[in-house]
């Protein structure tokens, strides 16, 4: 399968956020790194945690930009571009201005990891890093950007019956895990207890 055909398939399945989508939905992002053979090979590799499906079926390929409209990408700037439904003041104070270090591609699981709901933060981070080589839990900013740009089509980790959050890599706030969830209205960036509606997604950067 050629590259353009693969990207079209991913986009059709709400599994791709590339430079064109970022420009259309938010603004100019500057130069984007190419999709390397390593990334393409990873997309075609089996996902051992999902019955041998290809990772192109179980993951979202997204470009995380360092800047948008020549402004550093952060939770605060993303909220200015695409306002969140709820943005915890404590999260904003602690992490709002943290910028993304460099423009790079990431792969993130579409679903929360099986068995991760209701686990402790330490266990959820362990599950994410144990998903495969190079994997970890996603940061608040990574989940917020990916979820915001896909929100018109899908609600990550949630459906009409359930509202789920993912535990994020960012350190706890007020002793509670940092989370991102997707309500019917929009994105929630908050911190939470070890409730049964909080699981974890796994992400790998390139």
What pLDDT sits at residue 64? 98
Q: Residue 99: helix, strand or coil by DSSP? A: coil
Domain spans in the chain, listed from the N-terminal domain onward? 3-205
pLDDT score at 153 = 78
Residues of the chain short of pLDDT 50, as ranges, are none
Question: Residue 155: its pLDDT value, please?
Answer: 82
Q: What is the pLDDT of residue 75?
A: 98
- CB neighbours (10 Å) of residue 156? 25
Please give the backbone phi and psi of residue 142, each rounded to the nearest 5 degrees, phi first.
-65, -50
pLDDT in tens, 102-160: 999 999 999 999 999 999 999 999 999 999 999 999 999 999 999 999 887 778 887 66
Could you say which DSSP state residue 33 is in? -
The whole-number pLDDT of residue 160 equals 65
Q: pTM of this prediction? A: 0.94
**Spatial CA neighbour of 55 closest among 131, 3, 129:** 131
CA distance 89 to 1: 46
Residues 6+ apart with CB under 8 A from 167: 116, 121, 124, 125, 137, 177, 178, 179, 198, 199, 200
Give the Cα separation of 159 and 184 in Å (integer).
Answer: 9
* pLDDT score for 26: 92
Report how far residue 186's alpha carbon sits from residue 142's, in angstroms, rounded to the nearest whole number: 16
């Amino acid at each position: 399968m050629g590259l353009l055909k693969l990207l079209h398939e991913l986009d059709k399945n709400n599994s791709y956020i590339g430079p064109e989508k970022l420009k259309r939905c938010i603004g100019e992002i500057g130069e984007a790194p190419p999709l390397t053979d390593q990334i393409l090979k990873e997309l075609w590799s089996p996902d051992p945690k999902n019955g041998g499906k290809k990772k192109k079926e179980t993951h979202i390929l997204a470009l995380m930009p360092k800047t948008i409209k020549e402004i550093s990408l952060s939770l605060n700037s993303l909220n200015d571009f695409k306002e969140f439904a709820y943005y915890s003041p404590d999260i904003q104070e602690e992490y709002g201005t943290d910028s993304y270090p460099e423009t790079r591609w990431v792969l993130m699981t579409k679903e929360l990891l099986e068995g991760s709901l209701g686990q402790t933060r330490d266990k959820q981070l362990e599950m994410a890093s144990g998903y495969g080589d190079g994997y970890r839990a996603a940061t608040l900013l990574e989940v917020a950007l990916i979820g915001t740009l896909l929100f018109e089509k899908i609600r990550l980790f949630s459906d009409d019956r359930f509202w789920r959050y993912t535990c994020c890599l960012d350190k706890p706030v007020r002793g509670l895990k940092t989370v991102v969830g997707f309500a019917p209205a929009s994105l929630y960036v908050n911190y939470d207890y070890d409730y049964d509606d909080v699981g974890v997604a796994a992400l790998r950067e390139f």
